[in-house]
Amino acid sequence: MAIVVWSVLAVVGAYLIGSLSFAVIISRVVGLADPRSYGSKNPGATNVLRSGNKAAAVATLVLDAVKGWLPLWAVGVWGPGLGLGDGTFALVGLAAFVGHLFPVFFHFKGGKGVATAVGVLFGVNWVLALAALATFAVLVFFTRYVSLASIVAAVFAPVYFLFGADVAWPASPPMAGALVAMGALLVWRHTDNINRLIQGKESRLGKKSA
């Protein structure tokens, strides 16, 4: 019974941490407009960058990633002593990501989850995170489409996890399922970008939107 209670607390805590929309919080602290009111209206680092405040954008990026990593790190450190297993570990990562997408503190209107997903991957294994980041970087370099690179990296992350199981890290069906769910949600959040890519209207990195 105690294990169930601790598992529920860990998952709920991860969701609440993920619900901290740092794009909005940091913008308020430094006196910027609400990122949900301009540009793509997405509360994320890329949209904060459109305000012209690079420091605020970097802070948003880092903190959005940290909130994906922190709950997994905490469960990794204290979870074994509380009897928490792979299932809880996977649900905690997924909960932090879902919190970013649907933050309870901000009327359930969150961002697309790219930075938080990277944080979760680092919480799982830093090699896995670097593999996904390398995929992202290669796609951005050759296509200049950040959205496309994000989508492809999200799709490949669970593939990398499965191929590395029992070699680079222990096999974990619950975590594989969580990464698949995260990838599907991230692709869904990029529906508008996908439509613009199909229409040839998606903006490239370094160029203004049409």
The residue ranges of every structural domain in the chain are 2-199
pLDDT at 206 over 80: no
Mean pLDDT of the chain: 94
Query: Out of 24-38, 40-54, 69-83, 91-105, which region has the weakest mean confidence (pLDDT)?
Result: 40-54
Rounded to whole angstroms, the Cα distance separating 6 from 46 reads 36
pLDDT at 208 over 70: no
pLDDT at 209 over 70: no
Instruction: Give the H or E element holding residue 38.
Output: none
Residues 6+ apart with CB under 8 A from 25: none
Beta strands in 52-91 (DSSP E): none
Residues 6+ apart with CB under 8 A from 59: 22, 26
pLDDT of residue 168: 86
Q: Is 108 exposed, middle or buried (0-12, 13-18, 19+ CB in 10 A)?
A: exposed
* Alpha helical stretches, state H, 83-145: 86-101, 114-124, 126-143
Global confidence as pTM: 0.94
The b/e string for 57-69 (b: 16+ C-beta within 10 A; e otherwise) is bebbbebbbbbbb
Q: Name the nearest CA neighbour of 67 among 2, 137, 142, 118.
A: 118
Structure tokens at 83: 């009897």
